[in-house]
């Protein structure tokens, strides 16, 4: 049986009495693999049990949530054409505790300014963002989704991992959906955000530009937009680094606006470069890509980025040390149609100037 990942499923069970329990069985983060001809193992099944303890004297109540994870073998029932749990062998994992804390910063992708009045939702809880975002407490540990909505901006979301102790931080940056910075159907925008470390990540975009001479930042016939060359007008479009953040969290935003009906035919490559700071690219970075009016795509560094590519003895990155995450390519055909191709590789490239090379 092939490796597969089940879709989200939930089962509710209510027990009557002074103690009411609601059980939610969640398959959204599970992984499955075949173990025999008619058997499959499904791991990481999350079971949330919410128990409401009702005071019989005054009617007040208190809710407790206990989270357990189970690894369960299933047998495929040919007659009923469905999976049946192989009862008695489910192995519980460690329980998740509601002991995590997360501060979510929300900014305008076009200028990096705090975006107030956005609605932030984490683990079923919603708060209104202020100038310093919003802080959520008593969250369950493990992987969880952060969603941000604002009436004048494109909604954004990302996945974070929470642990007990300390205050976790993450940031999301929203693209305007109204006004002069709203995207047309032919425009594209890539938004890089990260955490407190590494301190400085840089967004890079290269692409075809017939007739462009080679210089300090560009290869022959290919432009290279990043912090040293923030604007490229021509090449059948305008490419601009809208925001260059150098002190944690981001955003770094690159917008592509075609001149005329389409972009130049060829390959556009988007990369993230760790310019300075401790940790690795995989610690907290994510890239959101918006192509016209299509749904937002969010990319995360692969596991290989978690390896410490930094050579300095104290674990900090020397400036321009060479750690890069090649995120995606945009393939534009002769008719101007844009295809998004995931690359998602981390590599040591020996200096940010190498990113401009077509072979990178």
Ranked by mean pLDDT, which of 12-16, 105-109, 331-335 comes out on top? 105-109
Which one of 179, 202, 219 terminates a domain? Answer: 179
Query: What's the confidence (pLDDT) of residue 327?
Result: 95
Ranked by mean pLDDT, which of 231-245, 287-301, 340-354 comes out on top? 287-301
Distance CA 329, CA 113 (A): 28
- Residue 189 tokens read as 């925008």
For the cut 50, the answer to whether the pLDDT of residue 21 exceeds it is yes
For the cut 60, the answer to whether the pLDDT of residue 101 exceeds it is yes
Query: What's the confidence (pLDDT) of residue 115?
Result: 96
Ranked by mean pLDDT, which of 113-117, 235-239, 264-268 comes out on top? 113-117
Query: What's the confidence (pLDDT) of residue 330?
Result: 95
Of 41-50, 194-203, 244-253, least confident by mean pLDDT is: 41-50
Query: What's the confidence (pLDDT) of residue 322?
Result: 59
Query: What's the confidence (pLDDT) of residue 314?
Result: 43
Q: What is the arithmetic mean of pLDDT over 71-95?
A: 70
Is 8 contained in some domain? no
Query: What's the confidence (pLDDT) of residue 34?
Result: 67
Nearest-CA neighbor of 129 among 160, 112, 98, 150?
150
- Is residue 302 within 8 A of residue 346, CB to CB? The reply is yes
Is 174 contained in some domain? yes
Of 40 and 255, the one with more pLDDT: 255
pTM: predicted TM-score of the whole model, two decimal places: 0.69
Distance CA 268, CA 219 (A): 13
Antiparallel, parallel or unpaired: β 98-108 and 168-174: parallel
Is 13 contained in some domain? no
For the cut 80, the answer to whether the pLDDT of residue 88 exceeds it is no
Ranked by mean pLDDT, which of 82-96, 175-189, 313-327 comes out on top? 175-189
Do 302 and 355 fall within a single domain?
Answer: yes
Is 6 contained in some domain? no
> pLDDT for 124-183, tens place per residue?
899 999 999 999 998 988 888 999 999 999 999 998 988 887 688 999 999 999 999 999
Round to the nearest angstrom and report the end-to-end CA distance of the chain: 38
- Phi, psi of 352, rounded to the nearest 5 degrees: -65, -25
Of 29-43, 138-152, 203-217, least confident by mean pLDDT is: 29-43
Is 2 contained in some domain? no
Distance CA 47, CA 264 (A): 51
Do 239 and 354 fall within a single domain?
Answer: yes
Q: What is the arithmetic mean of pLDDT over 29-44?
A: 72
- Is residue 146 within 8 A of residue 158, CB to CB? The reply is yes
Q: Which residue range(s) make up the domain with 145?
A: 97-179
**Peptide bond preceding 179 in cis form (omega within 30 of 0):** no
Can you spell out the DSSP letters for 33-99? EEEETTEEEEEEEEEEEEEEEE-TTT--EEEEEEEEEEEEEEEEETTTTEEEE-TT--EE-PPB-EE
Do 188 and 160 fall within a single domain?
Answer: no
Do 165 and 154 fall within a single domain?
Answer: yes
Query: What's the confidence (pLDDT) of residue 18?
Result: 37
Nearest-CA neighbor of 205 among 191, 185, 220, 186?
191
- Residue 56 tokens read as 């019989």
Which one of 120, 153, 179 terminates a domain? Answer: 179
- The angle at the Cα of 332, spanning 330 to 333, to the nearest 5 degrees, equals 150
Using a pLDDT cut of 70, give the percent of the chain over it: 80
Do 305 and 209 fall within a single domain?
Answer: yes
CATH of the domain at 170: 2.60.40.1120
Q: What is the arithmetic mean of pLDDT over 66-83?
A: 77
Do 166 and 202 fall within a single domain?
Answer: no
Do 188 and 162 fall within a single domain?
Answer: no
- Is residue 176 within 8 A of residue 196, CB to CB? The reply is no
Confidence of residue 305 (pLDDT cuts 50, 70, 90): confident
Do 174 and 91 fall within a single domain?
Answer: no
Do 151 and 194 fall within a single domain?
Answer: no
Distance CA 187, CA 198 (A): 30
Length of the chain: 360
Which one of 96, 128, 152 terminates a domain? Answer: 96
Is 1 contained in some domain? no
Do 195 and 280 fall within a single domain?
Answer: yes
Q: Give, as one character, the DSSP assignment of residue 183.
A: P
Is 36 contained in some domain? yes
Query: What's the confidence (pLDDT) of residue 300?
Result: 93
Do 154 and 211 fall within a single domain?
Answer: no
> pLDDT for 217-254, tens place per residue?
778 888 899 988 777 776 767 899 999 988 889 999 99
How many domains does the structure of the chain reveal? 3
Do 66 and 151 fall within a single domain?
Answer: no
Is 114 contained in some domain? yes
Q: Give, as one character, the DSSP assignment of residue 308.
A: -
Query: What's the confidence (pLDDT) of residue 175?
Result: 96
């Amino acid at each position: 049986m092939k490796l597969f990942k089940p879709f989200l499923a939930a089962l509710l069970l209510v027990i009557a009495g002074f103690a009411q329990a609601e059980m939610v069985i969640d398959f959204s983060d599970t992984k499955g693999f075949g173990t025999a001809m008619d058997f499959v193992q499904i791991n990481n099944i999350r079971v949330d049990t919410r128990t409401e303890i009702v005071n019989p004297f005054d009617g007040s109540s208190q809710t407790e949530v206990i989270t357990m994870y189970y690894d369960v073998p299933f047998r495929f029932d040919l007659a009923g054409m469905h999976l049946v749990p192989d009862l008695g062998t489910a192995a519980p994992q460690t329980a998740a505790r509601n002991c995590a804390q997360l501060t979510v910063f929300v900014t305008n992708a076009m200028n990096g300014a705090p975006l107030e009045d956005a609605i932030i939702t984490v683990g079923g809880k919603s708060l209104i963002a202020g100038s310093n975002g919003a802080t959520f407490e008593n969250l369950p540990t493990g992987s969880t989704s952060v969603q941000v909505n604002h009436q004048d901006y494109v909604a954004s979301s990302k996945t974070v991992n929470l642990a007990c102790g300390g205050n976790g931080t993450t940031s999301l940056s929203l693209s305007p959906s109204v006004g002069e910075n709203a995207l047309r159907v032919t425009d594209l925008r890539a938004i890089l955000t990260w955490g407190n470390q590494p301190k400085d990540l840089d967004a890079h975009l290269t692409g075809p530009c017939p007739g462009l001479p080679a210089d300090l930042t560009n290869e022959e016939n290919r432009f290279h937009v990043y912090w040293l060359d923030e604007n490229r007008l021509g090449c059948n479009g305008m490419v601009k680094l809208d925001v260059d953040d150098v002190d944690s969290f981001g955003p770094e935003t690159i917008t592509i606006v075609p001149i005329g009906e389409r972009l130049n035919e060829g390959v556009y490559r988007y990369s993230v470069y760790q310019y300075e700071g401790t940790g690795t690219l995989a610690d907290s970075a994510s890239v959101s890509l918006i192509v016209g009016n299509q749904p937002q795509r969010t990319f995360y560094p692969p596991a290989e980025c978690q390896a410490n590519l930094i050579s300095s003895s104290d674990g900090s990155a020397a400036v321009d040390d060479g750690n890069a995450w090649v995120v995606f390519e945009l393939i534009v055909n002769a008719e101007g149609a844009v295809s998004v191709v995931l690359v998602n590789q981390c590599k040591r490239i020996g200096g940010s100037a190498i990113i401009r090379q077509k072979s990178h």
